[in-house]
Amino acid sequence: MPEQLNTRVEDCYQQAESFFKRTFKRPVVSLKLRGQKAGVAHLHENLLRFNPQLYRENTEDFLKQTVAHEVAHLIAHQLFGDRIQPHGEEWQLIMRGVYELPPNRCHTYDVKRRSVTRYIYRCPCAGSDFPFSAQRHSLVRQGRRYLCRRCRSTLVFSGEMRVE
């Protein structure tokens, strides 16, 4: 666990405690998040999960904005309970009032999308390419059948694949 990340989480908690004049239970912090999300706050588990790749690629903004964003979710939950909106006025109050940051809902980090292989299926209809995912292609190989909506013929693997 990068020390800077833990330090920033602790700093956010200390700011909130100073602002609200009360203590807050510290969360478990994890770097086990992949995909497009930079961070996730699991309210009932008091858990913060962060994306290590986005952290490495955007360290300065990540520490400033993303960590505060996710901590604000946990603080809002501890203060106001379950019945608030995730990015509602209570969360926004914490972002603006405690952390003096804009209450941005989403990050703008460049997320590298992984390539995906599509398996091309066809039917007798003219110009009928049906790109199947690897999962759907596997189901066909196990015996599942898919039909063309126009001619009702069974779709057949053409032997062609493309990477998107």
Looking up tokens 């039909």, which residue turns up? 147
Backbone angles phi, psi at 62, to 5 degrees: -60, -50
Return the closest-CA partner of residue 73 out of 62, 82, 61: 82
**Residue ranges for the binding site?**
69, 73
**Amino acid sitting at position 74:** L
SS3 labels along 36-50: CCCEEEECCCCEEEE
**Residue ranges for the binding site for Zn(2+)?**
69, 73
User: Is 148 within 8 Å of 125 (Cβ atoms)?
Assistant: yes
**Amino acid sitting at position 111:** V
Identify the active-site residue in 10, 17, 57, 70: 70
- Decide if 100 is catalytic: no
Residues annotated as catalytic are 70
